[in-house]
């Protein structure tokens, strides 16, 4: 049986049966060494999901079993992808989970190329491994030439704060459950428009703390110094076991801890700010920088110097408030990107950092992230809204037009404050909201042309309208 036959390769329209449903295979969303991911829907179209279809070989069936075990171990957090169940199709183990909208990797690519993130088509490649989503890293990023360059277009401070908070909540739960994710990177961080949060996927490399598997962890560019040391140990061990005669003795390597995730997340956030990867393949040294390996040295960790040189004011962050926010972000990153894992803050300590005390309002970049809440602006002025009959007429018209695209959960039309002149419509489904966004934009309500954007769910639920 050839490799091609063992690797899943399903055409669109293929039918799969499992979880009490018949599923139709749609577009191919992504792939890795062990599996391919497909968009699938039930025959009646009522349920959409993602199917991670593993290779047939026995060793990949073990990978499938391991990921299921890992997901069971960390279940119970809204920032972790929801699993619907498993089944087997033509000998291929299939892991079925919620369909998410796009990865952080894809968002960074769109944002850096000044593209508007419009509603996601179900034909989008949500986790494109073949797309280069960040600019190449300068291996001498801490050099004077890099320090004097204008940073690339990174994400807004609002987006960075919400991204960091969501992922820290996830790590707080994972680490509190005694687990380590061990492969955090932008491709494994995905946006849920339905819930308005970032979620973590792919737990194939995860392990229980103090019970680490004898396998390599983390991806290039996001590997902590101790993970690089661990991976070197695993390579040496594998070479030793295959050598003739075998090596008789090997140095025992200390297992990694949850601190490796904190490091990876720091790299993710710094990269989101810079618009490019923080570290290249050879930038992080096994065991840490020279300053950290030199016990008792009073020099700063090289990572601190790097953050000081790169995380600095951008053209969009020049107000006094942003300078303070940026200073706190820089301080937080310096405390998580420490070569010595014992010197890093934990996820729970990070959540208490003053960076998260800043009340940032979404700019256009934040509002354009798809959610299930639609914001309509350009409604009649305050006089019309204070007239009960006029208000009811506008409310009825908005409700009637919006329901064309799907069931609604709530409508809010503020009569005062910064939300005045706008309407906020919560759909039951983010997919319906995305359809309504394009269809209603530019339409006329009560003689006025309106515009539409998405709106953050937390701001809607707290009635912080603007």
Q: Alpha-carbon distance 149 to 160, whole Å?
A: 21
Q: Alpha-carbon distance 73 to 327, whole Å?
A: 37
pLDDT, residue 405, reads 97
Q: Homologous superfamily of 102-122+136-247+254-363 in CATH?
A: Transferase(Phosphotransferase) domain 1 (1.10.510.10)
Residue-level length of the chain: 466
Q: Is the pLDDT of residue 296 over 70?
A: no
Query: What's the pTM value of the predicted model, to 2 decimals?
Result: 0.87
pLDDT, residue 366, reads 62
Q: Is the pLDDT of residue 352 over 90?
A: yes
Least confident of 5-9, 263-267, 323-327, 403-407: 5-9
What's the pLDDT band for 121 if we cut at 50, 70, 90? very low
pLDDT, residue 381, reads 65
Q: Is the pLDDT of residue 386 over 90?
A: no
What percent of the chain shows pLDDT beyond 70? 84
Higher-pLDDT residue of 292 and 378 is: 378
On whether the CB atoms of residues 330 and 157 are closer than 8 A, the answer is no
Q: Is the pLDDT of residue 63 over 60?
A: yes
pLDDT, residue 239, reads 80
Higher-pLDDT residue of 430 and 295 is: 430
List Cβ neighbours of 220 (8 Å cut-off, separation of 6 or more): 281
Q: Is the pLDDT of residue 403 over 50?
A: yes
The matching CATH number, chosen from 3.90.1530.10, 2.40.240.10, 3.40.1190.20, 3.30.200.20, for 3-97 is 3.30.200.20
Locus of tokens 């999901």: 49
What's the pLDDT band for 249 if we cut at 50, 70, 90? very low
Q: Is the pLDDT of residue 226 over 60?
A: yes
pLDDT, residue 131, reads 26
3-state SS record for the chain: CCHHHHCCCCCCCCEEEECCEEEEEEEEEEECCCEEEEEEEECCCCCEEEEEEECCCHHHHHHHHHHHHHHHHHCCCCCECCEEEEEEECCEEEEEECCCCEEHHHHHHHHHCCCCCCCCCCCCCCCCCCCCCCECCCCCCCCHHHHCCCCCCCCCHHHHHHHHHHHHHHHHHHHHCCEECCCCCHHHEEEECCCCEEEECCCCCCEECCECCCCCCCCCCCCCHHHHHHHHHHHHHHHHHHCCCCCCCCCCCCCCCCHHHHHHHHHHHHHHHHCECCCCCCCCCCCCCHHHHCCCCCCCCHHHHHHHHHCCCCCCCCCHHHHHHHHHHHHHHHHHCCCCHHHCCCHHHHHCCHHHHCCCCCCHHHHCCCCCEEEEECCCCHHHHHCHHHHHHHHHHHHHHHCCCCCEEEEECCCCHHHCCEEEEEECCHHHHHHHHHHHCCCEECCEECEEEECCHHHHHCCCCC
What's the pLDDT band for 374 if we cut at 50, 70, 90? very high
On whether the CB atoms of residues 422 and 436 are closer than 8 A, the answer is no
The mean predicted confidence, pLDDT, of the chain is 85
Domain boundaries defined on the chain: 3-97, 102-122+136-247+254-363, 371-461
Across the range 383-405, mean pLDDT stands at 85
On whether the CB atoms of residues 396 and 361 are closer than 8 A, the answer is no
pLDDT, residue 12, reads 95
pLDDT, residue 161, reads 96
Higher-pLDDT residue of 379 and 323 is: 323
Higher-pLDDT residue of 378 and 25 is: 25
Across the range 319-345, mean pLDDT stands at 93
pLDDT, residue 295, reads 61
- The 10s digit of each residue's pLDDT in 145-199 is 333 334 457 898 999 999 999 999 999 999 999 999 999 999 999 999 999 999 9
Report which of 340, 102, 317, 312 is spatially closest to residue 201, judged by C-alpha positions: 102
pLDDT, residue 338, reads 93
pLDDT, residue 81, reads 98
Q: Homologous superfamily of 371-461 in CATH?
A: RRM (RNA recognition motif) domain (3.30.70.330)
Higher-pLDDT residue of 323 and 269 is: 269
């Amino acid at each position: 049986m050839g490799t091609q036959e063992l690797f899943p390769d399903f055409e669109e329209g293929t039918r799969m049966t499992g979880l009490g449903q018949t599923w139709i295979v749609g577009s191919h969303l992504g792939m890795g060494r062990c599996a391919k991911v497909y968009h699938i829907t039930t025959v009646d179209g009522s349920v959409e999901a993602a199917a991670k279809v593993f290779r047939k070989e026995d060793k990949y069936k073990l990978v499938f079993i391991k990921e299921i075990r890992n997901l069971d171990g960390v279940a119970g957090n809204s920032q972790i992808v929801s699993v619907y169940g498993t089944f087997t199709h033509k000998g291929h183990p299939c892991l079925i989970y919620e369909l998410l909208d796009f990865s952080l990797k894809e968002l960074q690519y769109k944002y850096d190329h000044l593209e508007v993130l419009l509603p996601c088509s179900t034909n989008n490649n949500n986790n494109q491994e073949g797309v280069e989503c960040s600019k190449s890293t300068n291996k001498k990023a801490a050099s004077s030439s890099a320090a004097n360059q204008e940073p690339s277009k990174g994400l807004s401070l609002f987006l960075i704060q919400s991204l960091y908070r969501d992922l820290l909540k996830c790590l707080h739960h994972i680490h509190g459950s005694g687990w380590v994710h061990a492969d955090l990177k932008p491709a494994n961080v995905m946006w849920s428009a339905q819930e308005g949060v970032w979620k973590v996927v792919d737990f194939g490399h995860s392990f229980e703390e103090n019970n680490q598997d004898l396998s390599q962890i983390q991806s290039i560019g996001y590997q902590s110094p101790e993970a690089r040391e661990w991976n070197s140990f695993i390579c040496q061990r594998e070479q030793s076991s295959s050598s003739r005669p075998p090596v008789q003795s090997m140095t025992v390597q200390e297992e990694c801890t949850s601190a490796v995730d904190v490091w990876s997340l720091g790299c993710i956030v710094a990269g989101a700010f810079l618009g490019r990867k923080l570290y290249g393949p050879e930038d992080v040294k096994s065991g840490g920088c020279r300053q950290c390996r030199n016990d008792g040295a009073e020099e700063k960790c090289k990572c601190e110097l790097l953050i000081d040189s790169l995380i600095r004011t951008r053209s969009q962050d020049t107000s006094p408030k942003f300078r303070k926010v940026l200073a706190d972000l820089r301080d937080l990153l310096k405390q998580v990107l420490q070569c010595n894992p014992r010197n890093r803050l934990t996820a729970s300590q990070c959540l208490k950092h003053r960076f998260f005390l800043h009340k940032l309002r979404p700019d256009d970049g934040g509002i354009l992230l798809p959610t299930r809440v639609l914001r309509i602006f350009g409604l009649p002025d305050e006089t019309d809204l204070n007239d009960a009959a006029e208000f009811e007429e506008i409310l009825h018209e908005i409700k009637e037009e919006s329901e064309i695209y799907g069931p609604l959960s709530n409508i809010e039309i503020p009569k005062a404050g910064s939300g005045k002149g706008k309407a906020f419509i919560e759909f039951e489904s983010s997919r319906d909201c995305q359809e309504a966004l394009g269809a209603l934009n530019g339409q006329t309500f009560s003689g006025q042309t309106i515009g539409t954007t998405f709106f953050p769910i937390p701001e809607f639920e707290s009635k912080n309208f603007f």
